[in-house]
Amino acid sequence: MISDLWYKNAIIYCLSVGTYMDANGDGVGDFRGLARRLDYLHGLGVTAIWLMPFQTSPHRDDGYDVSDYYSVDPRYGTLGDFVDFTHGAKQRGIRVLIDLVVNHTSDQHPWFKEARRDPDSKYRDWYVWSKKKPGHANTGMVFPGVQKTTWTYDDQARAYYFHRFYEFQPDLNTSHPEVQAEILKIMGFWIQLGVCGFRMDAVPFVIGTKGPKVRKPKEQYDMLRSFREFLQWRQGDCIVLAEANVLPETDMEYFGDDGDRMHMMFNFQVNQHLFYALAAADTRPLVKAMKATKPRPATAQWGQFLRNHDELDLGRLTQEQRQTVFRAFGPEESMQLYERGIRRRLAPMLGGDRRRIELAYSLLFTLPGTPVIRYGDELGMGDELSLKERNCARTPMQWSDEPHGGFTKHDKPVYPVISAGPYGFEHVNAAIQRRHPDSLLNWTERIIRMRKEVPEIGWGDFAVIPMRNSAILVMRYDWRNNSVLFVHNFDAEPHEIAFATGAEGEHGDVLVNLLGTEHSKAGDDGKHHLVIEGYGYRWYRVGGLDYLLRRTDIG
């Protein structure tokens, strides 16, 4: 049954409520605004929303510094507004995933305040302390260049506390049974309010051992099983989508050999090599990354993505590959961040070139896994590099050419809307793009519609067809007596190519074009011959369009 494991073939759309739509006119988006935009999301065809943190927070890291896990930040509305929103989503068949940020709290969280004030408080042990400054305090920073240390002295506590991220994000002592129990309670709370899963922040750090003597944290993978068990018992279709930028050899530890740990993980390995392939027109490292991340339990799924709310982290590329990507997509220092990444949005990185944007999206939608798209990318929204660190790619959604892009009626939105220039709301907005059949918005809607009719990608087994030309990627998926095949040309130049589909049976002779009218029939040599234009892509169904009649019920 397809629907039971819904995340195997979902279309996930990630957004932050504060930048989506402001219904109450205070200059910041809120749940009432978001609920009114559900029809837009439904029309676009997304099947799940991933909401960035919206709980009460001092907002020093865009909400990734939570000060009350059981509330909605007043600027976004009330718990009542939240439930209205999840209800509206459910009515439209859209599932809601929320961020679960439990590696650390805000330093304004009452637990931390209590912990630093009173050494005998039960909350003292909920954090990680050291009387002396650990020798390795200036190592392991996640935000190099901005963050100076991982251990900061607290005058009130008269001790150093550990923080993997910024100093206002003290790490929770996640090995502590009471902290673990609290994490489950938080999940249970939000499930009750209508959510279907959690994007778990910083998973390797959540499960890593912590302490002044810990130089090399040891992962406590069993914790992942207990999170999953809890979810499954409470609500069978609830999932965890893990943020874990780890090496392929540890993937199975996160998924669990029996598929008993994380349901989904973001595929950072493929993401970084994908950008290299786009920059260098060389698909070989991407193919390697796809193959390295192929093993996974049948019930697990990759979350594939292009850009998200953070920098494009290129830390897993070689120095030379990274420089190639920097040169192509982020040549200026102001575009780079944390000595490892690019902080721009997708469209400006690709020079606003529609052919390249479509190529990138076509790839995203055909990579093995479930695509995760970022709000505004369906319009080709830009960035505002004058905003600091990652904020440049977190500007409000551009709805129309009305003041502030139709995001708010307030004179001064808290987050500035991109205005003027090629990416200004005056030109780039949903209202204009809705009217033009060829707009990126309508293209995205159509490609999503087609993607939903190709369950082979989410469920099937993939094979990369070997090509001599490394600018070309040909992938085939097989599932239930059906195959689909995708061709992508990463080069600006057209290429003449030939390949055999490798599909079993006689079906391989015919390729039916799913997005256009040029179908392909194999030549006498059994190969398909085609000329693919610069940055071109093709989606084919192998055999005829009687595929649904041919589909088997299992296998």
- Return residues touching ligand NOJ (CB under 6 A): 61, 64, 101, 165, 201-202, 243, 309-310
Q: Which CB sits closer to ligand NOJ, 316 or 507? A: 316
Nearer to ligand NOJ, 78 or 108 (CB): 108
CA distances from 305 to 267, 336, 367, 373 (A): 8, 19, 9, 6
The answer to whether 243 is a known catalytic residue is: yes
The DSSP bridge pattern shows strands 129-130 and 482-489 to be unpaired
Rounded to whole angstroms, what are the CA distances from 443 to 356, 357, 399, 438? 13, 11, 17, 6
Assess contact for 28 and 413: CB atoms under 8 A.
Answer: yes
Burial 414-438 (b: 16+ CB within 10 A, else e): bbebbeeeebbbbebbbebbeeeee
Q: Output the DSSP codes for 16-62.
A: -GGGT--SSSSSS--HHHHHHTHHHHHHHT--EEEEPP-SB---SST
CB of 107 to ligand NOJ, least distance (A): 13
SS3 at position 272: helix
CB of 52 to ligand NOJ, least distance (A): 8
Does residue 259 sit in helix, strand or coil? coil
Sheet with 336-337, edge to edge strand ranges: 312-313, 341-342, 336-337
Intra-chain end-to-end CA distance of the chain, in Å: 12
Nearest distance from residue 201's CB to ligand NOJ, in Å? 5
Helix 354-366 and helix 440-452, axial crossing angle in degrees, nearest 10:
20
Output 183 or 287, the one with its CB closest to ligand NOJ.
183
DSSP 3-state of 406: helix
Q: How far is the CB of 363 from ligand NOJ (least distance, A)?
A: 22
**Residue 26, CA atoms < 13 Å, CB-side half-sphere:** 11
Q: In whole angstroms, how close is the CB of 389 to ligand NOJ at the nearest point?
A: 9
Q: Answer yes or no: are the C-beta atoms of 168 and 65 closer than 8 Å.
A: yes
Pairwise CA distance, residues 432 & 436, whole Å:
7
Of 374 and 541, the one with the shorter C-beta distance to ligand NOJ is: 374
In whole angstroms, the minimum distance from the beta carbon of 345 to ligand NOJ comes to: 15
Three-state secondary structure call for residue 94: coil
| Residue whose CB is less far from ligand NOJ, 76 or 268 | 268
Catalytic residue check, 251: no
* Residue 202 vs 511, nearer CB to ligand NOJ: 202
DSSP codes joined into one string, 133-153: --TTTTS--SSBTTB--SEEE
Q: Token pair of 368, please?
A: 């093995």
Report CA-CA distances (Å) from 272 to 9, 288, 306, 311, 500.
22, 12, 9, 11, 29
The CB-of-181 to ligand NOJ minimum distance in angstroms stands at 21
Q: Packing angle between helix 268-280 and helix 284-292, nearest 10 degrees? A: 170
Burial pattern 72-111, b for ≥16 Cβ within 10 A else e, equals: bbebbbeeebbebbbebbeeeebbbbbbbbbbbbbbbbeb
Residue 264 or 287: the one with the smaller Cβ distance to ligand NOJ is 264
Alpha carbon distance 96, 398 (integer Å): 22
Query: Which residue, 57 or 482, is less far from ligand NOJ as judged by CB?
Result: 57
Q: CB–CB of 55/69 below 8 Å?
A: yes
Give the 3-state DSSP-derived string for 323-341, with helices as H, strands as E and coil as C: HHHHHHHCCCHHHEECCCE
Q: Write down the catalytic residue from 65, 201, 311, 384.
A: 201
Shortest Cβ distance from residue 292 to ligand NOJ (Å)?
23
Short-list 136, 59, 48, 148, CA closest to 98: 48
Nearer CB in complex with ligand NOJ: 63/405: 63
Q: List phi, psi (to 5°) of 43.
A: -65, -35
Other CB atoms within a 10 A radius of the CB of residue 504 amount to: 11
Residue closer to ligand NOJ by CB (options 165, 329) is 165
Least distance in Å: CB of 25 to ligand NOJ? 28
Q: Which helix (H) or strand (E) holds 120?
A: none
Catalytic residue among 243, 282, 377, 456: 243
CB of 425 to ligand NOJ, least distance (A): 24
Residues designated catalytic:
201, 243
